[in-house]
Amino acid sequence: MFRSGEMTDQFKVSILVVVLATVSILVPFIFRPFNMDEPLFLWSAFNIIKHPIDFYGFNLNWYGYEAPLYTTMQNPPFNAYYIALVIRVFGSSEASLHIAFLVPAIGASLGAYFLAREFCTKPLTAALVSIATPAFLVPAITIMCDVMMLAFWVWAVFFWVRGIKSNRSLFLFLSAILIFFSTVSKYFGVCLIPLLFLYTLIQKRRIGRWLFFLVIAASLILLYEWATYLLYGRGLLFQASSYASSTRWSEKEKFPKLLIGLIFTGGGLISVLFFSPFLWSRRSLVIGFISFAVVTVILYFAADTSPHLKYFKHAQQGLLFQLMLFATIGMAIIILVVADLRRNRDAASVLLFFWVVGTFIFAAYINWTNNIRSILPIAPAFGILIVRRLDTRKSDIQTISLKKFYYSLVAGLSLALLVSWADYTIASASKEAAVGISVKYAKQGHQIWFQGHWGFQYYMQRMGGKPLDEHLSGTVPGDFIVIPFNNCFLWPINDDQGTLVETIQLQPFKWLATMSLEAGFYSNIWGPVPYEFAAVPPETFYILIVK
């Protein structure tokens, strides 16, 4: 795994720095309540403990009606198996699970470091750049499958690159196994097969025995698909891809998707803004400023072409500025990877190009919605590209200050921590409301029902609440219905069905929103930016009594 003489003191210190940096920025969030799709993984884990083989074999009300989980869950089960193991050993508290998920986060950051050693001169810098982004940090404070997939992804690429260079079959075999585990963590991992195929074909210029190991990975994935077909009458990988494509491609417009993709890429990897003086000449920065203005015009005139962009023409100045900024940064990242390909024209630059552009196309055009979780796989490649760009500019900027560069890194990390804290407070508001309402109204002696899902559903059900369906099935006069305003799959309750008895408001972080206002960190259905700096309204919960 290591080259001769690799285990130097500097190498050991670099590994220690990467591990400590990852842990130190994630530990403050270990008490974050579960939110968004995390309950799906938790309920799957609880079911796995009882039925280890039948991981999705139970029904759940997630869309406002009860349905088998295998029709609802669009992610594979490995992450849930990991959660089940942690629950059996350490319990199901937020802290125990978040501490356990430091392991895949460390795995991803260390993998980014080792891979960067193959492609650039400052691997420690590349690894730190990749983790100091909202795209990495926010998914890393959840227990969803994204960082788990990324950890297997970067190590699969590392072992493959090292195996191809050294012509060692063991490394290629390890990579094939890691490709499989990346795929059964999150289905996007299957993209490693065409990505590594292209890289190796350009590196070797011919088909060789290396193809056999990609066939092994593909065969394991097909075996998984066959097993899920036997369990549930459908292959779950095919189901997830069909769900994403049918939902996304039902929308006909293409250019607005490109624009939203750039906005989410720029917002997720916003650190490039702070590094820009080190990456481009003054002339290039002037051109970038002009592009910034052009993006403003594009946003304005694109507003009438898509319902998703309806806010652009009448957006407040603050939001419009953020839209412009994120889209321009997204364009800069694409330019960065294209420039690397044009300059180097080697297998490594081809790998990075298809890694970044392929992920971008998936997030913007293929996935059912655009979100930062889909942008996350770009983060390790992003760090490598930043350092490779610095390497090419040494002759142009002889006086580059490493100290100033790390100031920029700290600025990017500070913004990522701020976005993570905003997400933390929204999750906390859902838990606080669910627990407080349940305790207060349970004393009345009537059943508490609720609309909404995500973390709110998880905590409501833990407190004895029941998810409502559109027919109000099971309710009787005197029961209570709780409706969270900022949630999904809600529907109105008519006046003849229920009467409002109380409105509860809890204030998340006041000046930055991730799933409120026009911000949709987990889905652009909520808004055209992944997060928004603005005056954030309180999270509102309505309590009605059934007539």
For residues 295 and 327, the answer to whether their CB atoms sit within 8 Å is yes
Is 185 among the domain residues? yes
Provide the token pair at 49: 């403990």
CA–CA gap between residue 32 and residue 455 (Å, rounded): 11
Question: Of 198, 232, 247, which closes a domain?
Answer: 247
In a domain, 152, yes or no: yes
Q: Return per-residue pLDDT of the chain as tens, 547 residues.
A: 555 455 677 888 999 999 999 999 999 999 999 999 999 999 999 999 999 999 998 899 888 888 888 888 889 999 999 999 999 999 999 999 999 999 999 999 999 999 999 998 889 999 999 999 999 999 999 999 999 999 999 999 999 999 998 889 999 999 999 999 999 999 999 999 999 999 999 888 888 889 999 999 999 999 999 999 999 888 888 887 776 666 554 444 555 788 888 999 999 999 888 888 888 777 777 777 777 677 666 666 665 665 555 555 555 556 777 888 898 899 889 999 999 998 888 888 999 999 999 999 998 888 888 899 999 999 999 999 999 988 886 644 444 566 777 888 899 999 999 999 999 999 999 999 999 999 999 877 789 999 999 999 999 999 999 999 887 778 889 899 999 999 988 888 888 888 899 999 999 999 999 988 788 899 888 888 899 998 899 999 999 998 8
**For 402-453, where are the alpha helices, taking DSSP H only?**
402-442
The domain boundary, picked from 197, 216, 247, lies at 247
Residue 477 belongs to some domain of the structure: yes
Alpha carbon 365 to its chain's center: 16
Asked if residue 482 belongs to a domain, the reply is yes
The pLDDT of residue 520 is 87
Contact 429, 519 (CB under 8 A): no
Q: In degrees to the nearest 10, what's the CA dihedral of 318, 324, 325, 328?
A: 180
Nearest C-alpha neighbor of 142 from the set 454, 381, 410, 378: 454
Residue 204 falls within a domain, yes or no? Answer: yes
Which residues are within 8 A (CB) of 412 and not within 5 positions of it... i.e. 6 or more apart?
A: 129, 132, 133, 270, 271, 273, 274, 275
In the chain, count H helices and then E strands: 22, 9
Residue 409: count other Cβ atoms within 10 Å of its Cβ. 18
d(C-alpha 402, C-alpha 379), whole Å: 21
Which of 505, 501, 510 shows the shortest CA–CA distance to 540?
Answer: 505
Q: What is the pLDDT of residue 397?
A: 44
* pLDDT at res. 309: 56
Please say whether the beta carbons of 154 and 141 come within 8 A. Answer: no
| Residue in the block written with tokens 């040494």 | 394
Q: b/e string for 425-456 if b means 16 or more Cβ within 10 A?
A: bbbbbbbbbbeebbeebeeeebbbbbbbbbbb
Q: Residue 76 domain-assigned?
A: no
In the sheet that holds 539-546, the strands lie side by side as 466-467, 448-450, 480-484, 539-546, 498-506
Residues 6+ positions from 126 with CB-CB distance below 8 Å: 112, 113, 116, 120, 380, 383, 384, 386, 387
Domains of the chain: total: 2
Q: Are 130 and 109 in contact (CB under 8 A)?
A: yes
**Would you say residue 16 lies in a domain?**
no
Domain span at 188: 145-247
For residue 156, is it within any domain?
yes
CA distances for 385 relative to 325, 348, 416, angstroms = 20, 11, 19
Domain boundary among 247, 276, 300: 247
CA distances from 253 to 242, 303, 530 (A): 19, 12, 20
Most distant CA pair in the chain, distance: 78
